[in-house]
Amino acid sequence: MKTIKLRDKLIEKGLKVTPQRIAILEAVHKLNSHPTAEKIFDFVRKDHPNISMATVYKVLDALVANGLLSKVKSEKDSMRYDAVTDKHHHLYSSDSEDIADYYNDEINKILSDYFKEHNITDFEIEDVRLQIIGKFKNRN
Amino acid sequence: MKTIKLRDKLIEKGLKVTPQRIAILEAVHKLNSHPTAEKIFDFVRKDHPNISMATVYKVLDALVANGLLSKVKSEKDSMRYDAVTDKHHHLYSSDSEDIADYYNDEINKILSDYFKEHNITDFEIEDVRLQIIGKFKNRN
DNA sequence: TTATGTAAAGATAATAATTCTCCTTTAAGA
DNA sequence: TCTTAAAGGAGAATTATTATCTTTACATAA
């Protein structure tokens, strides 16, 4: 994604356009592997040597709050960030910290049809996500 | 669940039966609301004033490793423990830290049938869990 | 029933991820 | 350009969890 488009997205949300925000947003798009805040920090620091970890967290929070990024919990301890904000599910490795996006409109339809017919007592569903746990094959 | 049955479960798994383990296992059963380690600690400390937080974590890990408890990640920062180890899903509150268990064999069947027919490239599925996010109604 | 080896408990320090505080800088509109 | 509220930076603080090390106490077997 172009910087110009990222700028527009920030403006659209009423967020100030700062070099740090552009850099972090770009970083999450480039590091397309659900990076941790630390990974993002390391990446961004190449071009912005003075950026602080606190800024990375603050910017990520702002971007998540405005729907420009999304946040996933790893099986271990850290939050992971995702440039993809469309509806999607996640594949979690049961033996490593790998996470992959999983798109499947067919399963989305099955789930949404199912829950349209079957309410959950005293609960108003906003979103249904799958956590698919297993092993990645053919990985180096 | 009776203490005697908890004892047997520990023995069955080759774990030593200790008062701390019994107390912690009982606590998670009694606090049937996905307690945090801290909540469990506070509860257990009433009867075992000398128990340490480290013991709570160690015992919980041992119980989870042996399938006597399960572990869920909250949307925020801490692990939550669950006395229920059967296959089930979770309802997450989008505006609080509440988590509830959700059982539904029908949806289990739909999912397992679906994924039996539709492999995910380069991924071997071990488990599929739903995270259903929304709002609890009629709560005090 | 007591002795003994080992697993587990307890105390405390360490670590890791994240958040907070406080002060400085900067983007964006007047 | 000036103003000011928003954002960034540095570093301390917090929170949850893990590690280390010593002490205690299960569980088996004499």
Residue with the larger pLDDT of the pair B140 and B2: B2
Radius of gyration of chain B (CA): 17
Q: Are A25 and A6 in contact (CB under 8 A)?
A: yes
How much is the pLDDT for A140?
46
Q: pLDDT band at residue A139, thresholds of 50, 70 and 90? A: low
Report the SS3 class of residue B25: helix
Q: How many helices (H) and strands (E) does chain B have?
A: 5, 5
Per the structure, the residues numbered 23 to 62 in protein chain A that have their CB within 7 angstroms of any atom of strand C are 36-38, 53-54, 57, 61
What torsion do the CA atoms of B104, B108, B114, B119 make, to the nearest 10 degrees?
140
* Polymer length of chain A: 140
Of all residues in chain B, the percent with pLDDT exceeding 90 is 54
Domain boundaries, chain A: 3-82, 89-134
Convert the pLDDT of each residue in B75-124 to its tens digit.
666 678 887 778 889 888 877 778 888 999 999 999 999 999 999 999 99
pLDDT at A85 over 80: no
How much is the pLDDT for A72?
81
Phi, psi (rounded to 5 degrees) for A35: -65, 155
pLDDT at B140 over 50: no
**Average pLDDT of the segment spanning B14-39:** 91
- So what CATH class is A3-82? mainly alpha
Q: Which of B124, B126, B136 sits opposite A137 (nearest CB)?
A: B124
Summary mean pLDDT of chain B: 87
Amino acid at B64: V
Q: What Cα–Cα distance (Å) separates residue A62 from each residue in A15, A55, A74, A106, A132?
A: 9, 10, 20, 32, 28
Radius of gyration of chain A (CA): 17
CATH of B89-134, one of 1.10.1070, 3.30.1490, 3.90.70, 2.60.120: 3.30.1490
Q: Which nucleotides of C are covered by protein (CB under 7 A)?
A: 7-13, 16-21, 26-28
> Best interface-test mutation with B: which of A122, A138, A140 has the largest number of B CBs within 10 A?
A122
CB environment A100-131: b (16+ within 10 A), e (fewer): bbbebeebeebbeeebeeeebeebebeebbbb
Whether residue B133 lies within 8 A of chain A, CB to CB, comes out as: yes
How much is the pLDDT for A103?
92
Which two three-digit tokens encode residue A2? 């172009």
CA distance A78 to A34: 11
Convert the pLDDT of each residue in B62-71 to its tens digit.
999 898 998 8
The secondary structure of B59-94 as a DSSP string is HHHHHHHTTSSEEEE-SSS-EEEES--SS-EEEEES
Evaluate whether B3-82 and B89-134 have a shared fold.
no
**Average pLDDT of the segment spanning A97-126:** 92
The gap between the terminal CA atoms of chain A, to the nearest Å, is 28
**Does nucleic acid strand C have an atom less than 7 angstroms from the CB of A65?**
no
How much is the pLDDT for B96?
77
Amino acid at A91: L
Q: Do A94 and B136 touch (CB under 8 A)?
A: no
